Amino acid sequence: MERRLYVLAASAFIVAAVLGSAWITGQFTTPEVDRTDGYVSELAARDQPWTRLFRTSDALAGLACAAGVALVPRVAREWQAWLALAAFGLFTFAAGLFPLDCATLSDPYCGRRVVSSAHHVHQLAGALSTGALLAAMVLLSARWRSWVSWLFTWLGLAATLLTAAALADRHGVGLAHRAQLTLFAVWLVYVAVHLLITDDPPVPPIMAEAVDHEGGFAGPHVVEQGAGPVVLITAELGGAWFHWGAVAGLLAGTRHVIRFDRCGLGLSPHATAPPTLYTEVARLAALAPSHPEQVTVVAHGVACWHAEAFARLHPLRVAKLVLVDPAPVTERTPSAPARSAGRWLPALGGTWGATAVARLAGPAAHRLLVGVPDPYGVYRTGKVLAAAAGEWLARRDMAADLLRLREEMPFPGVPVTVISAGGPDLGHARLAGALSATLVRLPECGHQIQLQDPGAVAEAVLSAPGTGRPG
């Protein structure tokens, strides 16, 4: 998928170059704009006949460039360059939205008018977009160490200086500006070609920490503490290991507590495929002690499906289940579009676009949904955002698999405790009856029971079968 992302990003840059070169046709459609002394952007001035066409082409060129940056897989120490190129795209988009009022250099009467704020915004956006693109050219040339890239960079700088000098002299601005825009468009095509001929995508920075000393990929991020019978904790959809620190602390005195992050979440390496019920069961089986030792599985939310499936498929390895506010299992037809999107998400999580969205919205969204800060900054990474979205998209398939498994595999006679939070009953009583479980109701708690009442979870783990705080 990373290779396809490179192709998509390259295509976006080529589209941006083509749309940004629409001014070439304007030389024939709008002869009122002086080719020698007039700005190219004067073709899109409000008083010109083809203003909508050129404004639209400029705006779409900017969006295409920004989209290309968003689709580029992250590469270490290149973020400044891609940020500058994204800024160029956004400033170009702004210049298309806010056109000149009139042809500043071609129309002698334009300078005598009182221009609108949009006119000034266009001029500012044009200057900022030029500076941003030159910065991107310099930074990427330095990283790529390509003489071709440096050639275009120096020619672009020279054309920009010629444009500034022509503007000061009020003569030849059109020629210099057209040469500058031509070089910029050619450089965008060069960026596209560079991405297309790049070797196999590098290991994303988010995965580098998971590479072991032999060059292979290590497993998920696992935290173990305490000694005694094993307790395996699996977090809810999009959850992280540190959400269960208080529960683990209460159990570690008498239990060997294992917390982990599923692929893409927390500090684990990014996923290589969409999650499924059976891959999550296999993950629990790999982390649990081997038979004959048994494990107590504590699961939250959607992860309760994984725990139940694990108990049905590996009945001899389970000592007890503690299902914390389990998600309801509904009979809904799996979605083909969701499956297709899920296959793209692991790769998209390593792009600059996902990184930008996660850094801007991740910490705030985590605090809003969970109610606690993110001390490790894991929700500022694109791979966590993609993994959480992937788990959400996979819910229908997981639910369908669990319903089939319930028909095919009986539930073993292991003790089960279902802890239900306050609010509407999401089928917890029915689930407890089906599994012959003890139902514990905590009306004062929300969904994040492990944070609001960790003692209740610890008590459910430590209590003997059939005891505890039944509802």
Span 74-113, pLDDT tens digits: 887 889 999 999 999 999 999 999 988 777 766 667 766 7
Domain end: 196, 213, 240, which one? 196
Domain boundary, last residue among 127, 161, 196:
196
Give dist(CA 13, CA 64) in Å, integer.
7
One domain for residues 180 and 232: no
- 49 lies in a domain? yes
Query: What is the average pLDDT score of the chain?
Result: 87
Residue 443 lies in a domain: yes
360 occurs within a structural domain = yes
For 287-316, the pLDDT digits (tens) are 999 888 999 999 999 999 999 999 999 999
Q: Domain check: are 146 and 248 in the same one?
A: no
Closest CA to 432 of 443, 421, 412, 418: 418
- The pLDDT > 70 percentage for the chain reads 90
Q: Which domain holds residue 241?
A: 222-462
What is the pLDDT, as a whole number, of residue 468?
47
The pLDDT score that the predictor gives to residue 451 is 94
463, burial (CB in 10 Å: exposed 0-12, middle 13-18, buried 19+): middle
Residues 267, 179 share a domain: no
156 and 244 within one domain: no
- CATH number reported for the structural domain that contains residue 409 in this entry: 3.40.50.1820
Q: Do residue 278 and residue 386 come from a single domain?
A: yes
Q: Are residues 230 and 190 in the same domain?
A: no
Whether residue 82 lies inside any domain: the answer is yes
Residue 470 in domain: no
pLDDT for position 37: 66
Q: Higher pLDDT residue, 2 or 451?
A: 451
| Shared-domain flag, residues 182 and 315 | no
Considering the domain architecture, whether residues 187 and 326 belong to the same structural domain is answered as no
Q: What is the pLDDT of residues 362-380, one digit of tens each?
A: 999 999 999 999 999 999 9
Is residue 250 domain-shared with residue 178, that is, in the same domain? no
If one counts the domains in the chain, the total is 2
Q: Is the pLDDT of residue 30 over 80?
A: no
Is residue 209 one of the residues assigned to a domain? no
pTM of whole model > 0.85? no
> What are the start-end ranges of the H helices in 111-256?
117-144, 147-169, 173-196, 205-208, 245-251
Question: Do residues 190 and 244 both lie within one domain?
Answer: no
The pLDDT score that the predictor gives to residue 217 is 40
User: Residue 213: what pLDDT?
Assistant: 33
Spatial strand order of the sheet with 318-324 comes to 222-225, 256-260, 230-234, 295-300, 318-324, 416-421, 438-442
Q: Within this chain, do residues 138 and 270 fall inside the same structural domain, yes or no?
A: no
Q: Which of 29-33, 177-181, 259-263, 363-367 has the lowest mean pLDDT?
A: 29-33
**What percent of the chain has a predicted confidence (pLDDT) above 90?**
61
For the cut 50, the answer to whether the pLDDT of residue 141 exceeds it is yes
Mean pLDDT of 14-27: 87
Residue 400 lies in a domain: yes
- Say whether both 157 and 266 belong to one domain: no
